């Protein structure tokens, strides 16, 4: 996995997702919190 995108965030984090993101980054550094209308490029692996 190259990047972890967090989606469907609990309403308790609706105001501030930074604690959630900080916690995720302790496990996987390349974590981000998805935002409305966010675009991501998803590449297929070369097999």
Measured CA to CA, the distance from residue 19 to residue 27 in angstroms comes to: 13
Measured CA to CA, the distance from residue 11 to residue 8 in angstroms comes to: 9
Q: Confidence band (pLDDT; 50, 70, 90) for 3?
A: very high
Domain count, the chain: 1
Q: For 6-47, how does the pLDDT look when each residue is reduced to its tens digit (9 = 90+)?
A: 999 988 877 899 999 999 999 999 999 999 999 999 888 776
Residue range of the domain that includes 33: 1-47
């Amino acid at each position: 996995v190259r990047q972890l995108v967090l989606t469907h965030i609990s309403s308790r984090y609706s105001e501030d997702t930074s604690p959630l993101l900080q916690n995720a980054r302790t496990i996987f550094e390349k974590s981000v919190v998805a935002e409305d209308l966010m675009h991501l490029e998803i590449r297929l692996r070369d097999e």
